[in-house]
Structure 1
Amino acid sequence: MDTRGIIKASGFLILTTISIPANLIVCCAFLHNRFTEAKLLTADIILCNLAFTNLMVAFIRSIPQTLAGLGYLHLFDDDGCKITIFCFRVFRGLSISLTCLLCVYQAVAISPVTSLLAPLKTRIPQYLLYIVVFLYLLYCSMSVMTAVNTVSSLINNTIPPYTYNLEYCFVIYKDYYSYILVGFGVMCRDLVFIMLMTIMSGYILRLLYQHGQKVKNIRSSDRSQKERRAETKASKAVVTLVILYVVFFGIDNIIWLYTITISKVSVLISDIRIFFATLYTSVCPIVVITTNPKIKGKLKLIKLKKEVQPTENSTCTQ
């Protein structure tokens, strides 16, 4: 293996070993809550779907990229490549849209009753299932054309111009205009969500600042203070996720804008872009695990059970 292959395999292996266990923890924690408490909050449902989406991206993109870095390039046939690219496009789109939905809901949840967003406090939970199903169908319909243009191997191993090269799969665009149109379409679609997330994050920060100013002058009950602290922590966590996504989105699309200026993109440039496009799948669950009280409570309970079991076993053997 060359140096690039070693670095590529190491980088994506790190992403994989973080992303898969972390997202599984988030999914399992919320599913356990669902079966034990028979109810999940709206934000928990969105986070569970987001963790599942990130988990799928890790399986579909991080693992193949790790194997490709190790030199295993013939991973799929044409149909396998089409399915892989289709699923990645769907789940990548869901990742940003669910993050946006989480941000919007958090802004709505902490907004005052006099706010224009107040009617959404009941509407979003009521129509959440329909919103999520609509997003799945939307991205499935938008990902078909890219999947159709995907192949597993090239004629004479010659990479034609305007090809998205993953080494184990190739997305071939027939001309420059098709390449530009698809790329700008995806970027503009994501930019809409980015702008909405940015606006809502700004609104959340403004509400948190206003609340902080009021707390200095007004002494509230312990219960209301605890509720406010929980809302504040959740809001800060959502804003953190938005900031991270905006940073990764920016790097991803700056690289893409560079690639449209050249006909053949080097594999190294593609590797860097793919790395940042999948980095969110590893960072997102870490933020959720470290900030969500329900998940932290589950992990503490598991830790306590593990500590108690050896003590009980040692007592029994005496």
Structure 2
Amino acid sequence: MTASSDWTVDMIISTQTVAGILGNFSLLCGYIVLHFIGSRIRSTDLILKHLIVANSLVLLCKGVPQTMAVSGWKQIHSDFGCKLLFFLHRVGTGVSIGSICLLSVFQVITISPHNSRWAALKITAPKCVVLSLFLCWILQMLSDKNITKKIDFGYCSAVHHDGTREALCAVLLLFPDVLYLGLMLWAGSSMVLILYRHKQQVQHIQGTDPFPRSFPESRASKTIFLLGSTFVYFYTLFSIFQLVVALFDHLRCSLVNKTVIIAACFPTVSPFLLTSRDSSDCSK
């Protein structure tokens, strides 16, 4: 990469990191204020709080170290320090996908008709949110990966296996996430279908928007659908880049920074997607 290319990439990473941290911090502060003034806490709000914390963890473990490296700070030479950064990044990413999956499934249950098979879960689902979030954090913290060959990430040097074994480890780690992605895709398509059928039943609603404005849950569902779609896009792109970095040593130097940029895209964008939604439309 040329010097100008390096400068451009470094500026993108720094801008992403600052904007993402400020966006997530502002949103989290908003929820804290609502809590202290006695505002009613919805189940979706609780899930979103965990999503914000997970997004912040991703930015702190990827964007901040990379930004420090750009500013001339020394690398983290400690093997423990590098492993801790990678571990926390993995936990943050895993909790993010778990939170969005839980959010999507919860919303499908909420907007499902009373005569559907999901109707029985409308009362029990909110009671399971806290336990589901707790299990999400625990399961991600139990995931680990042994690494044995040096890689330079700019801010940190770590070790990993040979390309083939590293790729196999990556695939095994991605397997639970694939299940999450499958649930998210199912939930997203189910939301569109349920709201489209509702639109067909309401004669006075005009237009072709599958998310009718008169439906109280439509805006919340539309935001969750957009949030899930955005995550799936960036996560799929990030996973592809990770596999390429693991398999092809000669491409590693040119792709490491791009992988950091992609990893920070969703945590940076998500708080701005969430602030565009009307919280009064969220379900309990």
Instruction: Give the TM-score normalised by the residue count of structure 2.
Output: 0.87
Would you say the 8 A contact 2:13–2:260 is kept in 1?
no
Give the aligned partner of residue 33 of structure 1. Answer: 34
Where do residues 98-247 of structure 1 align in structure 2 (5 Å cutoff)? 98-143=99-144, 145-146=145-146, 149=147, 160=149, 164-217=151-204, 228-247=214-233
**Is 1:248 equivalent to 2:249 in the alignment?**
no
Distance 1:4 1:129, change over 3 A: same
Partners of 1:12 and 1:294 lie apart in 2 by 34
Which consecutive aligned stretches of 4+ in structure 1 deviate over 4 angstroms post-superposition?
A: none
The offset of 1:178, in angstroms, is 2.9
The offset of 1:70, in angstroms, is 3.5
Partners of 1:181 and 1:235 lie apart in 2 by 36
Deviations 1:122-147 (A, max 9, x none): 2221122211111111111103x35x
Partners of 2:265 and 2:77 lie apart in 1 by 23
Give the aligned partner of residue 8 of structure 2. Answer: 7
Would you say the 8 A contact 1:5–1:71 is kept in 2?
no
Give the aligned partner of residue 82 of structure 2. Answer: 81
Amino acid at match of 1:105: F
Partners of 1:257 and 1:9 lie apart in 2 by 22
CA RMSD of aligned residues (A): 2.5
Give the aligned partner of residue 275 of structure 2. Answer: 289
Would you say the 8 A contact 1:108–1:117 is kept in 2?
yes
Structure 1 residue matching 2:37: 3-state secondary structure: helix
Where do residues 258-269 of structure 1 align in structure 2 (5 Å cutoff)? 258-269=244-255
Structure 1 residue matching 2:217: 3-state secondary structure: helix
Partners of 2:58 and 2:246 lie apart in 1 by 25
Structure 2: state its 5+ residue gaps: 206-211
Structure 1 residue matching 2:155: 3-state secondary structure: coil
Structure 1 residue matching 2:119: 3-state secondary structure: coil
Amino acid at match of 1:197: M
The offset of 1:181, in angstroms, is 2.1
Structure 1: state its 5+ residue gaps: 151-159, 219-224, 296-318
Deviations 1:156-183 (A, max 9, x none): xxxx5xx554122233223344302211
Partners of 1:213 and 1:187 lie apart in 2 by 39
Amino acid at match of 2:197: Q
Would you say the 8 A contact 1:16–1:62 is kept in 2?
yes
Where do residues 40-55 of structure 1 align in structure 2 (5 Å cutoff)? 40-55=41-56
The offset of 1:52, in angstroms, is 1.3
Partners of 1:132 and 1:231 lie apart in 2 by 22
Aligned sequence identity (%): 24
Amino acid at match of 2:129: L
Would you say the 8 A contact 2:241–2:259 is kept in 1?
yes
Q: How many residues are aligned here?
A: 275
The offset of 1:203, in angstroms, is 0.5
Structure 2 residue matching 1:171: 3-state secondary structure: strand
Give the aligned partner of residue 23 of structure 1. Answer: 24
Instruction: Give the TM-score normalised by the residue count of structure 1.
Output: 0.79
Distance 1:260 1:135, change over 3 A: same
Q: Name whichever structure is richer in helix by fraction.
A: 1
Partners of 1:77 and 1:60 lie apart in 2 by 15
Would you say the 8 A contact 1:57–1:281 is kept in 2?
yes
Partners of 1:165 and 1:12 lie apart in 2 by 17
Would you say the 8 A contact 1:9–1:68 is kept in 2?
no
